[in-house]
Amino acid sequence: MPTSIITTDDLREFKMELLDDIKNLLSKQATGKLKKYLKSSEVMDLLQVSPGTLQNLRINGTLPYTKVGGIIYYDAEEIQNVMNANRVQHSINS
């Protein structure tokens, strides 16, 4: 497996993309466009994670879920709470 070097520019770009995604999520929630319960595919799109990552988040208890008739649902508010609880702030000294 080739090794990749991550630069500070890469981290800044990732930070900006992540902040944009969070802002979009918050704006959807504020305008009421976000549904109360989301299916797995919707959560994968929202968080931009793979099915395996979503399964790991369920298994390790990071994301609470409800299973009804074989379909797994996630409470949108609980996803937001997980995002807020895991928020990391770093001060970048320029």
- Residue 45, number of CB atoms within 10 A of its CB: 11
Condensed to tens digits (0 to 9), the pLDDT of residues 40-61 reads 999 999 899 999 999 999 999 9
| Predicted pLDDT of residue 4 | 84
Condensed to tens digits (0 to 9), the pLDDT of residues 67-86 reads 999 999 999 989 989 988 88
| Predicted pLDDT of residue 32 | 63
- Decide if pLDDT at 19 tops 60: yes
| Predicted pLDDT of residue 36 | 85
CA–CA separation, 9 and 52 (whole Å) = 29
| Predicted pLDDT of residue 1 | 66
Its pTM stands at 0.58
* Alpha-carbon dihedral angle through residues 15, 18, 19, 24, given to the nearest 10 degrees: 160
| Predicted pLDDT of residue 64 | 94
Distances (CA, A) of 86 to 6, 32, 33, 53, 72: 22, 23, 24, 16, 23
